[in-house]
Amino acid sequence: MSDKPESNAYWSANIRIVTWCLVIWAVVSFGFGILLRPLISGIKVGGSDLGFWFAQQGSILVFLAIIFFYAWRMNKLDAEHGVDEQ
């Protein structure tokens, strides 16, 4: 890893994006699906409760959204720091 400030700024921004994506993923999959399930079990979604929906489908959909967000944000970050593919 280079000691250039531009390189450090790029990797700091990259790590920040990855950290936030992982935090959101953990809160949705573990938090809503397991820990907070008793609190949100009274809300009905598609014939089952919201906690079950998050555990089965919601966390997968959020994970897919995070993948697309990460790809979009990293392309933008690459362009800002001049390391894009074009």
Count how many domains the chain has: 1
Residue 57 covered by a domain: yes
Report if residue 55 sits inside a domain. yes
Q: Please tell me the predicted confidence (pLDDT) of residue 6.
A: 73
Residues of the chain with pLDDT under 50: 1
pLDDT at 1: 46
Q: Is residue 73 part of a domain?
A: yes
> Which phi and psi (to 5°) does residue 29 adopt?
-75, -50
Domain contains 86 = no
Is 32 within a domain?
yes
Which structural domain, as residue segments, surrounds residue 11?
5-81
Asked whether residue 61 is domain-assigned, the answer is yes
Spatial CA neighbour of 62 closest among 26, 36, 17: 26
Residue 48 is assigned to a structural domain of this protein: yes
